[in-house]
Amino acid sequence: MLKKSILKISLIAGIGLVSSGVYAADVNNGKTLHQSKCYQCHAEKSGLGNGDIIYTRSDRKVKDIQRLKTQVSMCNTQLRLDLFPEDEADLVAYLNQQFYKFK
Ligand code: HEC
């Protein structure tokens, strides 16, 4: 009985999320995830010991918000970092606020 109502509640919450179409991204979560999952490798790959430079280098790949989403998703999938879509959205929000500043 209890199980059933929990299921019901999560179903309703899930539908609410989808139908509203708006997920309020959590920039702080994005920042934490970035520190723990992304920074180190970018620091090593750029050879500069700083994981933020990859986003601001003059020949950076990401030129718009769509490309940013694609790239975050690519790094996540290719490297099997196991992030949820919400985590990706948080990372995109953090990177955009901090570095890219797309509208
Ligand atoms: C194991 C290494 C590694 C990890 C971990 C990693 N990345 Fe990357 N990432 C790269 C490399 C290498 C590039 C540069 C690709 C290129 O220049 O073509 C890159 C590029 C990017 C770029 C594009 C930068 C630009 O040019 O504008 C974004 C955005 C990005 N990564 C996001 C992330 C996020 C978010 C995470 C963590 C969830 C992450 N990456 C984790 C290796 C990694």
Tell me the pLDDT tens digit for each residue of 48-103: 899 999 999 999 999 999 999 999 999 999 999 999 999 999 999 999 999 999 98
The alpha carbon of 92 and the centre of ligand 1 are apart by a number of angstroms equal to: 12
Residue 6 pLDDT level (bands cut at 50, 70, 90): low
Closest C-alpha to 103, from 68, 73, 56? 68
Ligand 1: residue whose CA is nearest its atom 13: 42
CA 95 vs. chain centroid, Å, equals 8
Asked whether 31 lines ligand 1 (CB < 6 A), one says no
Contact 92, 69 (CB under 8 A): yes
Atom of ligand 1 nearest to the CA of 91: 35
